[in-house]
Amino acid sequence: MPKTKDQKKQIVEKLTKIFKEAKSIVFSEVKGLNVADTSELRKQLREEKAGHTVAKLSLVKIALQRAGIKHGKLDFKTQVAVSFADDETTAARVLKTFSKKHEQLKPLAGFLEGEEIDTGKVNQLASLPTKQQLLGQLASVLAGPARGLVTVLSGNHRGLVRVLSQVKK
């Protein structure tokens, strides 16, 4: 059943709000995904504090225009799924992971902080580590010298214990 003008206005308002607030937006083709797969994708995105909606391309373009985002290369011919997140990598990462199991899902393009990005950049974003992973790597790097110092300083004590053990035997 076709959507009424009021429903379309609500969709455009919702999308405009999303486009203004989200740091990253990824458009993907969902042709061929069934309802269960789409629900699973939405669930995975929600767990990562991201969102997902499907809309007609004409409504997406209107919402982008109202949000003040220039969209020169959006020439998709079908409905698009809009995945969005408050950080730069979450939406792209979840979509890439999901598309490994469901080949029908194809990331097409997106926006990163208002700048248009192509499929290659979306894939690059998806391969970046998460903030938590980066913090863990930083902690490991910062702890490395201290760990080395402790190992070196404990070496003399270990050596002394070995010598005394051998003397005892």
Convert the pLDDT of each residue in 41-53 to its tens digit: 888 888 888 888 8
The whole-number average pLDDT for the span 139-145 is 89
Residues 55 and 118 placed together within one structural domain of the fold? yes
Do the beta carbons of residue 117 and residue 109 sit within 8 Å? yes
CB atoms inside a 10 Å sphere around CB 28: 28
Whether residue 123 sits in one domain with residue 88: yes
pLDDT tens-digit profile of 75-112?
666 678 888 888 888 888 888 888 888 888 888 888 88
Range scoring the smallest mean pLDDT among 31-45, 64-78, 111-125: 64-78
Q: For the residues 25-45, what does the mean pLDDT come to?
A: 84
> pLDDT: is 74 or 9 the higher one?
9
Which value, in Å, is the radius of gyration of the alpha carbons in the chain? 25
106 and 44 fall within a common domain: yes
Q: What is the mean pLDDT of the chain?
A: 83
Residues 57 and 123 in one domain: yes
Q: What pLDDT, on the 0 to 100 scale, is given for residue 1?
A: 64
Q: Is the pLDDT of residue 73 over 70?
A: no
Measured CA to CA, the distance from residue 95 to residue 30 in angstroms comes to 11
Residues 12 and 62 in one domain: yes
Judge contact between 46 and 93, C-beta under 8 A. no
Residues 15 and 47 in one domain: yes
Q: How many domains does the chain have?
A: 2
More confident residue, 167 or 127: 167
Tell me how far apart the alpha carbons of residues 148 and 145 are, in angstroms, rounded to a whole number. 5
Domain that holds residue 135: 129-169
Residues 92 and 140 in one domain: no
Segment holding 10, helix H or strand E:
helix 5-21
- Biggest CA–CA distance in the chain, Å, is 92
Query: Residue 124 carries which side chain, given as an amino acid letter?
Result: Q
Strand duo 24-29 + 106-112: pairing: antiparallel
Question: Is there a single domain that holds both residue 124 and residue 139?
Answer: no
| pLDDT score recorded for residue 63 | 85
Distance of CA 117 to the CA centre of its chain: 14
Q: Mark whether 66 and 83 lie in a shared domain.
A: yes
Residues 95 and 164 placed together within one structural domain of the fold? no
Percent of the chain at pLDDT above 90? Answer: 1
SS3 88: coil
Give the contacts of 49 (CB within 8 A, at least 6 positions apart): 85, 86, 90
Residues 69 and 22 in one domain: yes
Tokens of 2: 């076709």
Residue 74 has pLDDT above 80, yes or no: no
pLDDT band at 67 (very low <50, low <70, confident <90, very high): confident
pLDDT of the residue at 91: 84
**Token couple for 10:** 């609500």
d(CA 113, CA 69): 10
Q: Same domain, yes or no, for 80 and 157?
A: no
